[in-house]
């Protein structure tokens, strides 16, 4: 059993260094994960720009159970060597939200609450420190949420299960996409493309994806994933284009993953009466929300946040089938010494063309 662990440690805004840590002894109700791959989320780039206590980031993690205590083995139904994907949440399991299946909203794991326990954000000062996936090994807290992963699934694709799980949660489970439905997705980033995947998997009749001039390659990926129409919102009027594509009605469901100052307004204008607008991103500062449009169109506006257990299981089933060109999403791979570049690449400040970036701790 190794005594030391290498981990990329974020030590301030836009600063990361590789450090050594002791491999911790585990209590009977905990474990250790040998990390194969950790995806870089868009939220990592946002967090990386802020000055927070030192931490090991990375919450889209896949690996094998390396050590497991006897209580944890019984509780989790796992044993050493099992391959798993982790959710970022560490819910208490007994509050009203956890008991109703909404453990992603549990206060114990609420990322906005100081002192919350959550993979990728908990600081190294919280023992035993190995709380993130940008590390060779990761501590497994007793409240961890696991999903089994087949051995034949490439690690960088398995690490897509959380963003694609978000897509299934928002588009299908929250938005009701399915046969006979038309869907507009603004923003062809990894979350927008995950919504394309979910909408087509759910059987939506028409999926329209919009982006900017700089997003041409991502829009081509959207088409390869099944999008029926792509729109350059810088050269074409998005509302008029959507109306033309839907015989003047507007779409049944709009999903705003772009979070620009005007994208929410456009989403409402492009949605049919009695339709739904899902807000998956929002600009900082003053809201562009126009309540009169909601009233006039009798629109349902629903915020999106995270994923349920079921949504991640759907995503893993989709990924494991091998029937879809998900390699188009997995664009970049980096080792621990290049975690700074990996995170910057997701933010458009590093390697060009990044969609979903993976950190491989052993490369």
pLDDT in tens, 285-334: 656 567 788 888 899 999 999 999 999 999 999 999 998 999 999 999 99
pLDDT given for residue 313 in this prediction: 99
The three-state secondary structure class of 232 is strand
Q: How far apart are CA 315 and CA 105, in angstroms?
A: 20
pLDDT given for residue 287 in this prediction: 61
pLDDT given for residue 96 in this prediction: 98
61, 86 Cβ separation under 8 angstroms: yes
The neighbouring-strand residues paired with 223 are none
Kindly give the parts of the chain with pLDDT less than 50: none
Q: How far apart are CA 347 and CA 341, in angstroms?
A: 10
pLDDT given for residue 20 in this prediction: 98
Q: How far apart are CA 89 and CA 221, in angstroms?
A: 30
Domain 4-160+329-359, CATH among 3.30.1330.10, 3.90.180.10, 3.40.50.1980, 3.10.290.10: 3.90.180.10
Q: In CATH, what number does 164-303 get?
A: 3.40.50.720
Tell me how crowded residue 100 is: count the other CB atoms within 10 A of its CB.
9
CA dihedral angle for residue 114, residue 120, residue 125, residue 130, rounded to 10 degrees: 150
pLDDT in tens, 152-180: 999 999 999 999 999 999 999 999 999 99
pLDDT given for residue 80 in this prediction: 99
pLDDT given for residue 72 in this prediction: 99
Q: How far apart are CA 30 and CA 94, in angstroms?
A: 18
Residue among 206, 217, 209, 172 at smallest CA distance from 192: 209
pLDDT given for residue 296 in this prediction: 84
Q: Where are the domains of the chain?
A: 4-160+329-359, 164-303
């Amino acid at each position: 059993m190794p005594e030391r662990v290498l981990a990329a440690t974020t030590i301030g805004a836009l600063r990361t260094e590789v450090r050594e840590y002791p491999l911790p002894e585990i209590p009977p109700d905990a474990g250790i994960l040998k990390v194969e791959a950790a995806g870089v989320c868009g939220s990592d780039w946002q967090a990386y720009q802020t000055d927070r206590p030192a931490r090991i980031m990375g919450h889209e993690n896949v690996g094998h159970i390396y050590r497991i205590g006897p209580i944890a083995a019984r509780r989790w139904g796992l044993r050493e060597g099992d391959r798993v994907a982790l959710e970022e949440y560490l819910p208490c399991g007994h509050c009203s939200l956890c008991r109703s299946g909404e453990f992603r909203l549990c206060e114990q794991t609420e990322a906005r609450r100081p002192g919350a326990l959550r993979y990728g954000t908990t600081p190294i000062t919280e023992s035993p420190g190995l709380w993130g996936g940008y590390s060779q090994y990761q501590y497994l807290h007793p409240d961890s949420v696991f999903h089994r992963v087949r051995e034949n699934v490439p690690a960088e694709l398995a690490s897509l299960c959380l963003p694609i799980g978000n897509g299934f949660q928002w588009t299908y489970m929250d938005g009701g996409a399915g046969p006979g439905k038309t869907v507009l997705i603004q923003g062809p980033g990894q979350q927008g493309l995950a919504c394309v995947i979910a909408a087509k998997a759910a059987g939506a009749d028409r999926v329209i994806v919009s982006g900017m001039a700089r997003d041409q390659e991502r829009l081509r990926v959207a088409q390869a994933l099944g999008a029926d129409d792509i729109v350059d919102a810088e050269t074409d009027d998005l509302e008029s284009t959507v109306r033309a594509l839907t015989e003047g009605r507007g779409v049944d469901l709009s999903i705003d993953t772009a979070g620009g100052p005007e994208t929410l307004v456009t989403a409402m204008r492009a949605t049919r009466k009695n339709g739904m607008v899902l807000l998956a991103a929002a600009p900082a500062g003053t809201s562009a929300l126009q309540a009169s449009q909601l009233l006039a169109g009798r629109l349902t506006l629903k915020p999106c946040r995270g994923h349920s257990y079921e949504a991640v299981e759907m995503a893993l089933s989709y990924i494991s089938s091998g029937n879809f060109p998900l390699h188009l999403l997995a664009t970049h791979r980096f080792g621990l010494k290049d975690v700074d570049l990996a995170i910057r690449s997701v933010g458009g400040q590093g390697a060009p063309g990044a969609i979903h970036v993976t950190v491989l701790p052993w490369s």
